[in-house]
Chain A
Amino acid sequence: MERLVERDRPSLEFSLDGAPATAREGDTILTAVLTLRRHLAEPRLGDGPRAGFCLMGACQECWVGVDGLPVRACGTLISAGMRVATDRRSPSG
């Protein structure tokens, strides 16, 4: 994902699989993660990483853990201090 317009929104800090990370206010979790790296979820069925697909809550490919609970990354806004887990082995997931 490439930030194209309205890039000057205030930044906020969250944690991604235990490591500190920076997002912008108004980012979904999906945007926050995919502007930092190319994939969202670790391989589940061994056929390569996934990065969401429909961005409108239909395909169900972007479920991640937030503070221990499952959410859809495309429909959930990031907030400061959120602990986002995309790796099942991560302690915060």
Chain B
Amino acid sequence: MADPTIAVIGAGPAGIRATEALAQHRLPVIVIDEAPKGGGQIYRQPPDAFRRSPSLRYGFEANKARALHTTIERLASAIDYRPSTLAWNVWDRQLDTLRAGKTEKVPFDFLVIATGATDRVLPVPGWTLPGVYTLGGAQIALKYQGCAIGHHTVFLGTGPLLYLVAYQYAKAGATVKAVLDVNAAAAKRRALPALAWSPSMLAKGLYYRAWLGAHGVVVEDGVTPIVIHGNGGVSELTYRRAGVETTLRCDAIGLGFGLKAETQLADLAGCRFRFDRESRQWLPERNADGESTISGVYVAGDGAGIGGADAAELWGERVGLAIAARCGRPRDTTRIATIDRQLARLAHLREGLERAFPFPSQHVSTIRADTILCRCESIRIGDAMAAIRVFDVIEMNRMKAVTRVGMGRCQGRMCSAAAAELLATESRQDVAAVGRLRAQPPVKPIPLPWSSPR
């Protein structure tokens, strides 16, 4: 039997490890990645003109970053590696891709979707002002461009990334005005037993926080953001804590409330989704091998459910080994058992993180009605709510039809988490009952004109 065609979408931790496992079994792999260099967002490599050492760029994770970069470089000649390429549709066991202005169809027998995640954001009055960026965006500015998002930066939201990025900024010489966590300190104390599943992770988290405190950075828990002020750009942030309002002068804000899986391609592939209570988001269903409900279509890494970079590497390898076995290679049961044990441990840690930094869904219905909900179409919360009432909307895609929330160029990536909570509150339903936005090809805007395939 001729070897099947295997396509891997994404060259982050999951995509690279899946590719490595497949290549070790001498299976041909096509790797499609939007970035010009491998590493994904977490281990994003800077352009050639930058020469800073990986240890300065990636901190404690430098060895992991370097190992992944070396792996994809080593594999590049043995596989069909297509960087700077967007997979923009999946249909009938074929991908549609776009590279350097040319579209190409890529038929596959097996597909690994390792599309990663983006920041999960929530609206704050004034959040469209220049100077407000996602937390992940703030981190990319530093590691990919050597820049801070501003001269006086505040980090606002929740999640482990909040403290990590603030630490990285301060360490690189940026002025960090404050780190403001919407979750209370009590949530973190409750999560301690679960976080203890990874002493090194817990130690790092405590270290970042302690370091920030020792260097005079204001670190506060239980914060409610009130408004971002500015004219042509951020100039102040007002927040409330324990009944007291505080206004800080700042020119940039890094905003993030955890991560959200990039699931559009899994949706277009026809995978069945389930609502994950713990992370409060819709995720493609998968079995122990990482296979979705569509035969031959596998999901791995944060794009299959937020688990972090270490879990993504393990899931990538796990999926690669599973596909190799499906292709007639011996099933490496020893390695699979080891991976499954490690993944189980990381799942406990994840539970702890979700408990320490829960998505502040209760906060959404208290955001001022004149706040922009959909950044693409500048639709305000109050207008969307009015339309929901007038049209008796109870489902996300209907909401999109009558309000245009989610219909803009980001296809709901930046607004759907908040939109779902608002619709659930307004229609008095559980957030799982309002459903999720259907993905549409192309999953990202494609500039026209592109040339037709030959």
Contact = CB atoms under 8 A, between A and B. Distances in A.
B47 A26 contact: yes
Contacts, number: 137
Contact of A6 (B52, B372, B409): B52
Contacts of B377: 45
A8 B409 CA distance: 36
Nearest to A2: B148
Nearest to A25: B49
A28 B145 contact: yes
A48 interface: yes
Interface stretch (B88-96, B123-131, B190-198, B294-302): B123-131
Contact of A31 (B51, B147, B150, B375): B147
A56 B145 contact: no
Contacts of A48: 128-129, 232
A20 interface: no
B415 to A, nearest CB: 10
Interface in B137-181: 137-138, 140-142, 144-151, 172-174
A53 B52 contact: no
Given A48-B128, A53-B137, A77-B47, A2 B150 contact: yes
B34 interface: yes
Main secondary structure of the interface of B (DSSP, over half): loop
Size class of the contact patch on chain A: 35 or more
Contacts of A4: 142, 146-148, 172-174
A56 B132 CA distance: 14
Contacts of A46: 378
A28 B49 CA distance: 11
Contacts of B372: 47
B410 A1 contact: no
A56 B140 contact: yes
Contacts of A19: none
Contacts of A13: none
A40 B149 CA distance: 13
A54 B232 contact: no
Contacts of B281: none
Contact of A3 (B34, B48, B146): B146
B421 interface: no
A57 B140 CA distance: 11
A7 B413 contact: no
B391 interface: no
Nearest to A24: B49
A2 to B, nearest CB: 5
A60 interface: yes
Given A3-B147, A26-B47, A45-B377, A38 B414 contact: no
Contact of A55 (B46, B51, B141, B376): B141
Nearest to B46: A26
Contacts of A61: 375-376, 409-410
A88 B358 CA distance: 42
Interface string A20-36: 00001111100100110
Interface string A59-93: 11101000001110001010000000000000000
Given A9-B50, A49-B232, A54 B119 contact: yes
B118 interface: yes
A1 B414 contact: no
17 contacts: A1-B147, A4-B172, A4-B173, A9-B50, A26-B49, A26-B50, A31-B141, A31-B147, A38-B130, A39-B130, A39-B233, A47-B372, A53-B137, A54-B119, A54-B414, A57-B34, A61-B375
Interface of A: 1-7, 9-10, 24-28, 31, 34-35, 38-40, 45-61, 63, 69-71, 75, 77
Given A1-B150, A5-B172, A71-B447, 8 more contacts: A1-B145, A26-B46, A31-B147, A35-B147, A45-B377, A54-B134, A57-B34, A75-B34
